[in-house]
Structure formats: structure tokens, C-alpha cells
Amino acid sequence: MSETGVTTNLYDRLGGAAAVDLAVNNFYRKVLVDDRINYFFEGVDMERQAAKQKAFLTFVFGGPNNYTGLDMRKAHTHLVANGLNDSHFDAVVENLGATLRDLGVAEADIAEVAALAETTRNDVLNR
Amino acid sequence: MPTIAFQECTVECAPDETVLDALTRQGLEIPSSCRNGVCQTCLMRATEGKPPRTAQQGLKETLIAQGYFLACMCKPTESLTASLPDEAVVQRVSARVIYREYLNGDILRLRLLPYGAFHYRAGQFLQIRRPDGVIRSYSIASVSEIDSLIELHIRLLPNGSMTTWLHKEVREGDCLEISGASGNCFYLPGAPARNILLVGTGSGLAPLWGIIRSALHEGHQGEIHLYHGSYNVAGLYLESELHALAEHHPQFHYYPCVDEGEGAAHHSGRADKIALAQHKNLSDWQVYLCGHPEMVKSAKRSAFLAGANLTDIYADPFVLSKTP
Ligand SMILES: Cc1cc2nc3c(=O)[nH]c(=O)nc-3n(C[C@H](O)[C@H](O)[C@H](O)COP(=O)(O)OP(=O)(O)OC[C@H]3O[C@@H](n4cnc5c(N)ncnc54)[C@H](O)[C@@H]3O)c2cc1C
Ligand code: HEM
Ligand code: FES
């Protein structure tokens, strides 16, 4: 809530933790059927992976988190070693947008989410 | 000010302080990681008192029903007695074998009378502890509201340590030490209209048999579809009981499936594949998967992709122990 008490921040506008819970199934489902990126998510326990997807969504929704750029680097280092690049990053952002659109989120908010994801590109890709 | 009782300590929880902060402030060690209600590392269970709903976001309904909560998200409104997950589920009871019977060539039905209170929900599992210390998990096939004895279905494995002992040595009248019950695979009253899909292989039918009888006992109205799979017809069991149940309850459907062999009475193929081929849209369904770990794993993924939410998929892979 801003000082005027009228506008809320992105995370609250999207619906906070409840929105993360709602989005995580749809987002994860999209990722698993997307042949461009699904092999990065194979073989991991689905519940644990879903918990990480929630961490991801909380982050890009602008929600409370303690992740630093360094954490983001470390989380993806082994993926970069396996070929993670800009095209995969773009695919994730695309799936994210599609998920939010399915949930009826406004385009302006989707753009804001994409912009937030964008700030992590260099860290995620370990550049 | 609400207090938190944990192990031997009682800690006061300041306004706006979480259970995690209050306990760690006292030097108590509670596992934690994200401190944001995301990773579930700080999972605890309230054995007394009710944690606020906000501390249970994202947890499975079955865990919520048992009082589980996330310590990092829990700003208690009332005093709680809390424990770490493992500790809360340990409850040792001695139980006498009252009845034993073969359900098919290699599955033994045991009915046990516990000495002392043994609380469980049909579909959860307990541990049998042999006098020499070997411990194995077995799913509970009985329903506490209907049956007075605890029922287990034990499948004999070649050279299996516990199963050989249970099959060859344990007799009616003998006592076993059991502990438990734990696990999230059980029927949840409160959503009687939702559809339920159950897939089990081999003795994976044990928890499902309990869950189905429990659901019907609670008056479940939604469709209930059970796919029980085995390598061949000899591996199926409780067939006539399940057919009879389906005759009495039009909402219940039973599909015996065999990998090998044809026949009008059975579906030919893997139970999970047949189930998922017949139910392509599982959104808003509850799904129970029990038995062979590989089947459980792949069926979980297929059910999820068919639209079931992860929090609505309850799975018990019958993982074998690494230490014999
Ligand atoms: C949640 C849960 C619920 C379960 N519910 C049930 C149930 O309802 N009914 C049921 O029948 N089972 C159930 N199980 C499985 C059960 O817990 C045991 O794992 C199973 O009965 C085997 O125990 P065992 O001691 O007889 O076999 P083990 O001695 O543990 O041996 C298992 C198998 O591995 C082989 N093996 C053992 N040691 C070795 C070795 N060194 N090298 C190669 N192979 C080896 C054995 O030949 C045997 O085939 C469940 C498991 C879990 C986790
Ligand atoms: C859009 C920017 C991205 C953000 C903000 C992000 C964020 C995160 C976060 C917060 C975690 C959890 C870290 C932890 O706590 O362990 C994580 C893990 C993970 N991410 Fe990303 N991520 C991004 C892009 C990607 C991309 C493009 C891929 C691959 C296509 C990817 C694949 C993974 C995988 C596989 C894990 C789990 C790692 C493991 O535990 O093995 N991420 N990510
Ligand atoms: S520490 Fe991650 S959920 Fe509490």
C-alpha cells in the first residue's frame, strides 16, 4: 500500500501468496509440456520442484523474498553448464506471460512481471 | 501473549513474532530455509491449539487436517503445543494378530488388535518393528469407523526379510510392535461431490481399499474410479468384493487390469495407462496413487498434466528399504 493508500504494489495487486498458489500449477504444467525447456526440470521430485516454482513466482510477482543476485547465480550455475541460454530464458518468460493471461491478469501487470524477470537475466545466465 | 510448548520448553511468542523466530530466539533448533512460507522446510505440527490458516497456505489438505503448519509463517493467535513432523507421528503400540488369510498366492491379509489407542485414517501407513529392530512400512486397509481390527495386506517378496517373517513365522495369537500412523494418503470428508481417481498396483490396493470404503461410509457422492493393476490375473485380489461394492454403489467403478493375458473380465495393459487414457481431464479431481514407485512417479506426472493440481494428488510409492 502506498502512502496515499490507493495504489498497491504489484504482488498485492496480483493477489499475493494466494495468486502464487493458483498460478504454480498452471505455470509448472506449461513448463513440463514445453519441449524447449522441460528437460531442465526432469528427474526432480515434483513437490520439491513445485516449491521452487513458487519461489520463482513469488520473486517475479515482486513478493517478499531473500534472494540475492548471487543466490540466483548459484541456483542456475549447473543449468548454464548444461547449456541454459537466452532462448530458454525467453521461453520461461513466455510461459509466465501465458499463465498470467489464462488467469485474467491485466497486460500492464504482465509487462511489469516480465520486466522484473528481466532484471535477473544476467544472474540466471551467469554472465 | 500466546505461548509455544516445544519439547521441554515453553516460549512466549511476542506480537508479530513467528513461531520460528520465537523458538530460535531461545536457541532451539528448527530447520528453516526461505522463511517465507515457500520451501516448507520449517514444517511443524500443532498437537494442541489451532495454528492460523495463513500458516498453512500451500500445504496439502491432509497435512492441514492433522494440524501441520509452517513455523516461519505462524503468528499464533492462541497457545500451541508444537513438535517437529517425525516426532509427532511416532506412537508405539503392541498389537495381536487375530486373523490371517491369503488374499491371493502371495498377498497375506493380517488383522491386528491394538493394545491401547491407535489412531489412524484409512490409507495411512504404520511401521512394523521386529524384535531384532528391522522396521518396514505397511498401509492400513481397514477403516477405523467401520472395523474394530487393523487390516494389512502384505505381499511376499523373494528373500524379503520382513515379508518372509510375516508370511512364514508369524501366527495368529502372536504380538507385533507397531507404530505410526502417518502419511497423507487418506480420504478427506468435506468435498463429497468431487470425483476421485485411484490407481494401485499389487498390494498398493491396501490403502485404496481403505480409502474407498471410508469415502463410501462418509457418503461420498462424486464418482470414484479404481484401477487395480497386476502382472497377471493371479496377482489381483478382492475382485469379487470390489465388484460387489460397485453393484451396491453406482458412483463406484472398478477396473481390474492385467499386463498379461486377455479376457472379458479384465482390462489389458498397465493400470495407470488405462486410467489416464479413460480420464483425460482431471481438473478438480482428487487422485490417489499407491504401489510400484515407478508407476506412482509416472502416473503423478500424467495426472498433473491432465489437469489435477499437485495438492490434490496423494501418492504412496511403496519404496523398498535400502538396508535389508
Ligand atoms: C509408505 C509405504 C507403504 C507400504 N505399504 C505396503 C503394503 O501395504 N503392503 C506391502 O506388501 N508392502 C508395502 N510397502 C513395502 C514394505 O514396506 C517393504 O518394503 C516390503 O514389504 C519389503 O520388505 P522386506 O523386509 O520383506 O524386503 P527387504 O528385505 O527389504 O527386501 C526387498 C527386496 O529387495 C531384495 N533385496 C534385499 N536385499 C537385497 C540386496 N542386498 N541386493 C539385492 N536385492 C535385495 C529382496 O529380495 C526383496 O525382493 C510399503 C512401503 C512404503 C514406503
Ligand atoms: C526468469 C528468471 C528466473 C528466475 C527469477 C528464477 C528463479 C529461480 C529460483 C528463485 C529458484 C529456486 C532456487 C532455490 O531456492 O533453490 C530457481 C530454481 C531453478 N530454476 Fe530458475 N529462475 C529463472 C529462470 C530460469 C530458467 C530460464 C530456467 C530453465 C529453463 C530455470 C530453471 C530452474 C531450475 C531447473 C531450478 C531448480 C534448480 C535445482 O534445484 O536443481 N530458471 N529459479
Ligand atoms: S522456512 Fe521455508 S517455508 Fe518456512
CA distance linking residue A76 with residue A84, whole number of Å: 8
The SS3 assignment for B48 reads strand
In the stretch 29-58 of chain A, residues with CB closer than 8 A to chain B read: 29, 32-33, 46-47, 50-51, 54-55, 58
Average pLDDT over residues B142-165: 96
CB of A76 within 8 Å of any CB in chain B?
Answer: no
CB of B304 within 8 Å of any CB in chain A?
Answer: yes
Contact A32 B58 (CB under 8 A): no
Dist. CA B87 → ligand 2 center (Å):
33
Of B52, B87, B122, at which residue does a domain stop?
B87
Residue A38: domain span:
10-124
Contact A58 B58 (CB under 8 A): no
Burial class of B21 by CB neighbour count within 10 A (0 to 12, 13 to 18, 19+):
buried
- Structure confidence at residue B305 (pLDDT): 92
Contact A17 B57 (CB under 8 A): yes
Domain with A74 in it: what CATH number? 1.10.490.10
Is residue B324 over pLDDT 80?
A: no
B23-57 pLDDT per residue, tens: 999 888 887 766 777 667 788 999 999 999 889 87
Dist. CA A124 → ligand 2 center (Å):
8
B254 and B311 housed in the same domain? yes
| Residues β-bridged to residue B126 | B138, B180
Residue B67 covered by a domain? yes
| All residues at 6 or more sequence positions from B29 whose CB lies less than 8 Å from its CB, including other chains | none
B71-82 pLDDT per residue, tens: 999 999 999 999
Is residue B173 over pLDDT 60?
A: yes
Q: Please, which pLDDT band fits residue B88 given cuts at 50, 70 and 90?
A: very low
B256 and B295 housed in the same domain? yes
- pTM given for the model: 0.78
> Which of B39, B40, B305 lies at the smallest CB-CB distance from A32?
B305
ipTM summary value: 0.75
Could you tell me which residue, A49 or B194, shows the higher pLDDT?
B194
Of B71, B87, B103, at which residue does a domain stop?
B87
Residue B52: domain span:
3-87
Q: Where are the beta strands (DSSP E) in chain B?
A: 3-6, 9-12, 43-48, 68-70, 80-83, 92-102, 107-115, 125-129, 135-139, 150-155, 175-182, 196-201, 224-230, 252-258, 267-268, 286-291, 313-317
- Structure confidence at residue B89 (pLDDT): 46
State how many domains chain A has: 1
